[in-house]
Amino acid sequence: MIMAALDANAQPKPGATLLITNAAIYTVDNQHPRAEAVAVIGDRIVAVGSKPEIDSWRGPQTEVIDAGGKLLLPGFNDAHLHFIQGGAQLDQVALTDASTPQEFAKRIAAQASKTPKGEWVLGGRWDETKWPDPQLPTRQLVDPVTRDTPIFVERYDGHQALANSVAMKLAGVNAKTPDVPGGVIMRDGSGNPTGIFKDAAQELIYKAIPPMSHEQRLLAARRALEHAASLGVTSVQHMNPEFADVAAYSELAEKGELKTRIYAAPMETNWQEQAKI
């Protein structure tokens, strides 16, 4: 009688949102390192085991994926990144493998042609040592193909960046602008800036670049989320985010779009502003 009463009061097992079966699962659990199926409810794994064990989680609305024997791993974690800024870089000009000055200028021209008026061409990661004649690029190389679009593209090491004449004008930099402590403005034989800014001198240009709008942050975050998912990255630590970044994450979470677990680690300055988000 007691057992019958207990059975009558037992709660039925909820149906899983998702079952993945017929998989070669590596669990990272030394006691049970291998499995063949997994059950998920919402954003949580609720069971890992054999196919018969996991089939007990099947419900009328459960989505079932047959992995076809493929390897299934736990999601990866990236312990230190700048998530939104990285997402923005996915849509910036890529110059890492530009092997000639001509290819360098061609890619910048293509990016400038699709950049909305008032926005900057950013990105880069160029390396002039890969070129047949390894000379630093100058504004004269890119001015003809960028017209009224400002550009500021970094060298791969982050210690130098190239600005065009439009960018320097917006930043108020000219032949009379002095070098800054810890930084150098490269100049030609007449004393005019070549467009190359070294180390701390880069800030002369960066301060002229408008901050990202909220919509731009949302777009960059969505691009980063998409890219992370494509690589199997399911959680990240965003180090020193701007408070506007956290606001973007909050909005995406409210919309159900935040598919990556994000741990934001802001600096403990202006914490009053953070508390408003």
What are the pLDDT digits (tens) for 1-33?
A: 444 444 445 567 889 999 999 999 999 999 999
Joined tokens for residue 181: 């402590």
Q: Does domain 92-206 have CATH number 3.10.310.70?
A: yes
Domain range summary for the chain, segments of one domain joined by +:
2-74, 79-83+211-275, 92-206
SS3 breakdown of the chain: % helix, strand, coil, rounded to 5? Answer: 35, 25, 40
Instruction: Decide if 78 contacts 233 (C-beta within 8 A).
Output: yes
* Same-fold call for 2-74 versus 92-206: no
pLDDT on residue 268:
72
Instruction: Decide if 49 contacts 25 (C-beta within 8 A).
Output: no
Q: Where are the alpha helices (DSSP H) in the chain?
A: 2-9, 51-55, 83-89, 101-113, 139-146, 165-171, 203-206, 214-230, 243-254, 271-275
d(CA 230, CA 76): 11
pLDDT on residue 5:
44
Q: Which CATH number fits domain 2-74: 3.20.130.10, 3.30.413.10, 3.30.2130.10, 2.30.40.10?
A: 2.30.40.10
Joined tokens for residue 168: 């320097």
What pTM did the predictor assign?
0.83
Residue whose structure tokens are 């047949």: 132
What are the pLDDT digits (tens) for 133-148?
A: 999 999 999 999 999 9
Banded model confidence at residue 274, pLDDT cuts 50, 70, 90: low
Strand ranges across the sheet with 76-81: 76-81, 233-239, 261-265
Joined tokens for residue 216: 């731009």
